[in-house]
Chain A
Amino acid sequence: MIELQNVTKSYHLKGVHKTILDDLSFTFPQSRNVAIMGQNGAGKSTLMRLIAGVEYPDSGRIYRATSVSWPLGFAGGFNGSMTGLENARFVARIYNQDTEAVIDYVKGFAELGHSLNLPIKTYSSGMKARLAFGISMAIDFRVYLIDEITAVGDEQFKIKSQQVFSEKLKNSQIIMISHSETAIRSYCDCGLLLAPDGVYYYDDVNTLIADYKMLA
């Protein structure tokens, strides 16, 4: 279960003050896949980072009584001078996984071939995303946090990730940020909209998408 209680989050940077969440209380429905939509800068990624626990609210509490992945995005926590394999091993170690099992999975899934032995700084953003996606899929989380990372790679890779993903979703749920209507429709069944005047919950994605379009 993931629950936000009276969460307020704002930024002060160079004299600019921006409130992203104002006294938000929300319990994420269990065993449902939740979309997070909103315009650029509305605070979707910040909300996700708060849920993951990598950023802290100004006030309020966030309860996570379940295993939650790190926010899966393009800017992964990779060390550029380390190889793909070394980065995979590092993540496996901190999550107490069998490192070799994770590596075998990543090798099979990410299709990076010999590039896995090269430093991450030589990777394209698509390759990094595939690696991040592969590592996270190798670990069993109850909740996967996905920040705009579904549509990477060619058609074949997309189909493959969808298969793996559907398999995972039998036992896990996702919270997903996306601007893509297709992605939201194929993975999510409810959602949050971060509108300029507040955060709204939608029990079905059609109304969510319709209202999201009204914002633009």
Chain B
Amino acid sequence: MSTMSARQLLGLQARVIAALVLRETRAAFGTSQFGYLWAIVAPAAGVGLLVFIFSLVDRQPPFGASLALFFATGVLTLEFFTKLSNALMTAFDANKALLTYPLIKETDALFARLILIAATYALIMVLFYSALTILGLADPPAYPERLLQAFGATAFFGFGFGTINAVAISLFGSWIHIEKVLTRPLFFLSGIFYIPSLLPPEVIAVLKWNPILHLVEWMRTGYYPNYESTVINHAYPIGLAVLLTLLGLTGERVFRKKRV
């Protein structure tokens, strides 16, 4: 038998990732059929609760006519990033048993989790925005293609961030706690319940270093027909995503032997 052709290798890779996605779905959402439903309902309920709390404080949405829509564009983007990077961060450890099978490489687990979580959040967003539209709380998105780009950019950045953290954790186990501390303030720093462009310049000067802020702004410029952002820089989150992904995958390759 000779070595495998590129086509056979691609086929193998696709097969392994597909099998892993099915396995991960099963592991992530439990035995019952309600498991997956719950994964979709929970973020929606979270946004609902936020809307409720903020509407008690101030009924006026920061932008547009709907408080729910404004929060959703922020919270769902941040949650997608957080869920993705957390899932990737633990992917190596959670899949140790899988490495019994020589066909499966650790990067396959990363790709499988990316696909699963991106699909889940795409579904969540479609359902949530459709529900808002049907209830008359929002209009359909003004620039769907920008929404798609923003979604893709968030997935890419989450992948890079999660991968590099996965490598960091495999080398230095306590990193998982440090990462939690570092990412906790994101909820307040990402423009979820305010419009970043309206902040004082000295605050913007600091906040603009947060890539999630740019991703949230990207979502909003895609959803609203007239959302003007003076802060947004599309190249920044994409550039960081490229850098983190390259470093993460290189790190995975370099430290592969040490991790086993």
Contact = CB atoms under 8 A, between A and B. Distances in A.
Contacts of B59: none
Contacts of B181: none
Interface of A: 52-56, 58, 65-68, 70-71, 75-79, 81-82, 86, 90-91, 93-96
B98 to A, nearest CB: 5
A90 B104 contact: no
Contacts of A65: 1-3
A96 B15 contact: yes
Nearest to A67: B1
6 contacts: A54-B100, A55-B260, A78-B97, A79-B27, A93-B22, A94-B16
Given A56-B257, A58-B257, A70-B102, A93 B97 contact: no
A77 B1 contact: no
A90 B27 CA distance: 12
Contacts of B2: 65
Nearest to A11: B260
Contacts of A82: 23, 26-27
Contacts of A55: 260
B172 interface: no
Contacts of B102: 52-54, 68, 70
B103 interface: yes
A77 B99 contact: yes
Contacts of B98: 77
B55 to A, nearest CB: 40
A76 B100 CA distance: 7
Contacts of B97: 75-79
Given A68-B102, A82-B26, 5 more contacts: A75-B97, A77-B101, A79-B27, A90-B19, A94-B16
A86 B23 CA distance: 8
Nearest to A57: B257
B8 to A, nearest CB: 10
A55 B259 CA distance: 10
Contacts of B18: 93
Given A82-B26, A96-B15, A77 B260 contact: no
A78 B23 CA distance: 11
A149 to B, nearest CB: 13
A95 B256 contact: no
B256 A56 contact: yes
A58 B260 CA distance: 12
A90 B23 contact: yes
Contacts of A91: 101
Contacts of B100: 54, 70-71, 75-77
A191 B19 CA distance: 36
B45 to A, nearest CB: 25
Contacts of B103: 94-95
Interface in B20-77: 22-23, 26-27, 31
